[in-house]
């Protein structure tokens, strides 16, 4: 009896079929890019701190075939319509649809001296949109890999991540850090990426264990309306760094935290931000040490403390995220659980025993439904590989 295709295999099959239906020819290659979840290290990236993301098993697949002209045609297997534009006309601001991510990467490749021919493309994705799992970074990474392959060129993964980051800045208007693109392009299977956001260097951290995995629970709450709150936190961090006479809050150590908080002229908002950033950087390093030692319960306690700090000091959580984290933390299958991403909505991530994950999902789903009248989407993932190409 034939085996059932995995979700990733099913996505590849689906996008190839849709490509052939749309363009009456097969694709020449597939670019596969994962989503990502940040396990710990939140709201420290713009403070020069350390983050610990993982690539997830949910992915975006981009099927591509070259053209003989400079036209680019984009379609999605998930919704209708074809977007068409000239590969020679890539000015930022020309559109607000999802093709802006593709245009931004193509423009970056052109600036870097790469000649990318026109092409037909179709995407399919299993990355939840709006859950804070970097579906946009996955599209950028897949476009970069496909464009380089079509032009007969290559690029070091972190350099491509920087190019994709600039595309998001210039074409989507999102001043993101490097974490999303670096995780999508540089993660190795069974590893988390300990990324130094100031030095822009990273170390692979093992998370390959038969007993433990990551459970992602999407609250279903949009965080788009919280942009003003995000700007306030970031401004408070920058003001605190200036008051403390340091380039960024990364330079405040746990040993000097007490003195920093007691410095005259520090507002309550600045103290809260400093306390979160300094302790979160320390928690991230402590979590990495625990994971390397195989001590998942200790690592989980750092996740719990991270959520408390984001809730109480940084104040970027919400009722739904707090409910999910609290429900998960009281489950014996969970080492730790925290909100992940910018906050005010989005998802939680739990470090969970794989044999208890299904029961935990039901438990959270039932409790969440009783409280909020709906069920959160959730799935278990292992630490997945970064973006890659398949030539057909």
Residues 244 and 131 reside in one and the same domain: no
Res. 225 pLDDT band, cuts 50 70 90? very low
Tell me: the pLDDT tens digits for 302-338?
Answer: 999 999 999 999 999 999 999 999 999 999 999 999 9
CATH number at residue 252: 3.30.70.890
* Nearest-5° Cα angle at 60, 57 to 65: 135
Output the pLDDT for position 129: 78
Non-local (6+) Cβ contacts of 238 within 8 A are: none
Is residue 214 helix, strand or coil? strand
Catalytic residues: 180
Q: Are 62 and 31 in contact (CB under 8 A)?
A: yes
Residues 188 and 233 in one domain: no
Query: What is the number of domains present in the chain?
Result: 2
Same structural domain for residues 169 and 261? no
- Whether residue 317 is contained in a domain is answered as yes
* pLDDT at res. 93: 84
Q: What is the pTM of this model?
A: 0.92
Q: Does residue 2 lie within any of the structural domains? A: no
Domain-embedded: residue 1 = no
Q: State whether 164 and 297 are in the same domain.
A: no
Distance CA 277, CA 290 (A): 20
- Regarding whether 336 and 229 lie in a shared domain, the answer is yes
3-state secondary structure 104-115: HHHHHHHHCCCC
Are 242 and 270 a contacting pair, CB within 8 Å?
Answer: no
Q: What percent of the chain has pLDDT over 70?
A: 97
Looking at the structure, tell me whether residues 186 and 241 fall in a common domain: no
Q: What is the mean pLDDT of the chain?
A: 93
Three-state DSSP string of 299-338:
HHHHHHHHHHHHHHCCCCCCHHHHHHHHHHHCCCCEEEEE
Residue 131: which pLDDT band, with cuts at 50, 70 and 90?
A: confident
Residues 196 and 229 placed together within one structural domain of the fold = no
Half-sphere exposure of 137 (CA within 13 A, CB side): 30
> 208 near 190, Cβ under 8 Å?
yes
Please check whether residue 205 is in contact with residue 192, taking contact to mean a CB–CB distance below 8 angstroms: yes
Q: Residue 4 above 50 pLDDT?
A: no
Q: What is the pLDDT of residue 224?
A: 60
Can you tell me whether residue 150 is helix, strand or coil? helix
Band (pLDDT 50/70/90 cuts) for residue 5 is low
Task: Name 347's Cβ contacts closer than 8 Å, sequence gap at least 6.
Answer: 37, 131, 132, 133, 216, 217, 218, 219, 339, 340, 341
Domain membership of residue 50 as a residue range: 7-207+384-391
Q: Is the pLDDT of residue 228 over 80?
A: no
Q: Are 242 and 121 in a shared domain? A: no
For residue 136, what pLDDT band results from cuts at 50, 70 and 90?
very high
Give the least confident one: 10-14, 88-92, 97-101, 352-356.
88-92
Structure tokens at 204: 């692979």
């Amino acid at each position: 009896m034939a085996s059932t295709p995995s979700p990733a295999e099913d996505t590849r099959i689906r996008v190839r079929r849709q490509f052939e239906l749309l363009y009456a020819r097969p694709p020449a290659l597939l670019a596969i890019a994962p989503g990502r979840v940040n396990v710990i290290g939140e709201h420290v990236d713009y403070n020069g701190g350390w983050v610990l993301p993982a690539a997830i098993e949910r992915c975006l697949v981009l099927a591509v075939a070259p053209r003989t002209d400079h036209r680019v045609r984009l379609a999605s297997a998930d919704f209708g319509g074809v977007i068409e534009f000239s590969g020679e006309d890539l000015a930022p601001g020309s559109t607000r649809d999802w093709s802006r991510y593709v245009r931004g990467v193509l423009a970056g490749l052109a600036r870097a001296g790469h000649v990318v021919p026109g092409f037909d493309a179709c995407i399919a994705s299993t990355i939840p949109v709006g859950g804070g799992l970097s579906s946009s970074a996955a599209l950028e990474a897949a476009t970069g890999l496909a464009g380089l392959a079509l032009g007969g060129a290559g690029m070091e993964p972190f350099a491509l991540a920087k190019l994709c980051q600039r595309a998001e800045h210039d074409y989507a208007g999102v001043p993101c850090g490097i974490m999303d693109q670096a995780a999508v392009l540089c993660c190795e299977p069974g590893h988390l990426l300990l990324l130094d956001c100031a030095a822009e260097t990273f170390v692979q951290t093992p998370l390959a264990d038969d007993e433990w995995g990551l459970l992602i629970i999407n609250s279903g709450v949009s965080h788009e309306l919280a942009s003003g709150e995000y700007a306030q936190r970031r401004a408070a961090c920058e003001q605190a760094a200036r008051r403390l006479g340091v380039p960024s809050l990364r330079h405040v150590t746990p040993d000097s935290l007490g003195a920093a908080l007691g410095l005259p002229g520090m507002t309550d908002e600045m103290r809260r931000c400093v306390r979160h950033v300094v302790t979160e950087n320390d928690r991230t390093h402590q979590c990495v040490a625990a994971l390397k030692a195989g001590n998942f319960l200790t690592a989980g306690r750092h996740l719990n403390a991270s959520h408390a700090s984001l809730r109480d000091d940084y104040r970027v959580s919400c009722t739904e995220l707090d409910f999910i984290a609290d429900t998960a933390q009281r489950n014996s299958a969970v080492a730790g659980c925290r909100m992940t991403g910018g906050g005010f909505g989005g998802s939680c991530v739990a470090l969970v025993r794989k044999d208890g994950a299904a029961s935990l999902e039901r438990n959270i789903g039932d409790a969440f439904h009783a409280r909020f009248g709906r069920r959160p989407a959730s799935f278990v993932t292992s630490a997945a590989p970064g973006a890659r190409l398949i030539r057909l």
